[in-house]
Amino acid sequence: MGHETASVLIKRALRKRCPVCGNGGLFISHFKMSRSCPACHATFWKDPGESLGAMYLDYAVAAGAFLICWAVLAWTTQLSDLSQLVILSVVAIVSVLVCFPYTRSFWTVLVYISGGIERPQLRVIKGGKDDSHGRAA
Ligand SMILES: [Zn+2]
């Protein structure tokens, strides 16, 4: 895990960028996520079960959109229950589809925070002579 602040990680999530380096994109297309970062080669979701975690966020988005829209409809319109249900269902489905990359992006940040994404191994090239002490010749 790195030393990024919460605001940096949130910005990376909103920009759908790699939480590790902030450069590589998380997505190939709206619904297709990259397996690893094209910039730093960190693997985003090692465990295929991570998509289940992102679905929790999908559920939260759908429930939130449903409740907000339901409150607006109930307070401002005189629609029948059936038409409200149809509108609310469409709103919930569309909100999940629109937010799909963002729920995955935020879930990737949560996976990163919990230590599920390792920083790729960097090759450290040490210059100069070996100056380690205590090594008798
Ligand atoms: Zn990266």
Residue 120 has a pLDDT of 76
What are the residue ranges of helices labelled H in the chain?
A: 6-14, 50-76, 81-113
- Kindly list the domain boundaries of the chain, sorted by start residue: 6-113
User: Cα of 122 to ligand 1 centre, how many Å?
Assistant: 12
Sign of the alpha-carbon dihedral angle for 121, 53, 31, 65: negative
> Rounded mean pLDDT of 47-56?
90
Q: For the whole model, what pTM was predicted? A: 0.80
Q: How many CA atoms lie within 13 A of 88 on its CB side?
A: 18
User: Cα of 104 to ligand 1 centre, how many Å?
Assistant: 15
Environment of ion ligand 1 (residues, CB < 5 A): 18, 20-21, 24, 37, 39-40
How far apart are alpha carbons 11 and 106 in whole angstroms? 10
> Rounded mean pLDDT of 33-45?
93
User: Cα of 123 to ligand 1 centre, how many Å?
Assistant: 16
Spatial contact of 6 and 13, defined as CB atoms under 8 Å apart: no
pLDDT band, residue 25 (cuts 50/70/90): very high
Separate counts of helices (H) and strands (E) for the chain: 3, 0
Is 80 exceeded by the pLDDT of residue 130?
Answer: no
